[in-house]
Amino acid sequence: MGEGFRKRLARHDRLLDTVRVFRAPATWRGAVESHSAMLLVAIVCAALCLASAHAQVPPKPEPAAMVWVSGTTVHRGKSKGQRYVMNASLVVPGNPSTPGASAEFGVDDQGRVMWIGQTDYQPTQGHTTVRRNFETPAPPMTTEQGPRYVMVCSWPLNADRKQAGPIQAGYAERDDSRASVSHDGTLQESISMSWTAVPAARARDKFAAHDFCGEVAKTKNSSAPRWLLEGKNR
């Protein structure tokens, strides 16, 4: 083997070594880039899966309040006077069968909270009611005299009829489109009106200035002024 051939072979080996050195970083960069891409894909997939799972979780059911008023003002005769009643009910999710108590509050368009009534004991908390016979100082009763929003709350009772668990509250808004007023000549005027259940987020803050329900649960009384006048039980 000649000296010149050996020199050419040595140069060829050195060239191969140089190519290997320069190609290695490219291989490393490729591996890093491939790993980063896979990691990014995994993160995106995880985020999409989490968002999808969250979207599929149904909202927690809320207590549903329903309220209605009916009554008549008779202007003359033996039956002259007012006969109005407000009935409110609260359906609690899960229909708890423990005994319960309930209270009802309203708020007018000026933001004033009024105490409507309470029920000290009912056999089950799952469907509690509050009934109030009332009169108005400015008869006959009109829709504007009714609260804009109503809050009905209930809580479980123990064997001693003391509060034994958290308070549940539902809200309703006055539905003037369903109100009806009828006249019997000049003798009497009758009214029927209702409040429709609404999400707590729409009305809860209107009653947030004070723990009205908690106060009644503890003391069976309220610092809020009474709504309108007491009526006669008939």
Tokens 């407000």 correspond to: 86
pLDDT tens-digit map of 62-114: 999 999 999 999 999 988 999 999 999 999 999 999 999 999 999 999 999 99
The whole-angstrom separation of Cα 230 and Cα 71 is 14
Query: Three-state DSSP class for 41?
Result: helix
Q: Look at residue 36 in the predicted model and tell me its pLDDT.
A: 59
Q: Look at residue 190 in the predicted model and tell me its pLDDT.
A: 97
The whole-angstrom separation of Cα 191 and Cα 127 is 26
Tokens 């029927």 correspond to: 192
SS (H, E, C) 102-129: EEEEEECCCCCEEEEEEEEEECCCCEEE
Query: Three-state DSSP class for 224?
Result: coil
Alpha-carbon distances, residue 76 vs 136, 183, 233 (angstroms):
17, 14, 20
Query: Three-state DSSP class for 198?
Result: strand
The stretches in the chain having pLDDT less than 70 are: 1-57, 233-234
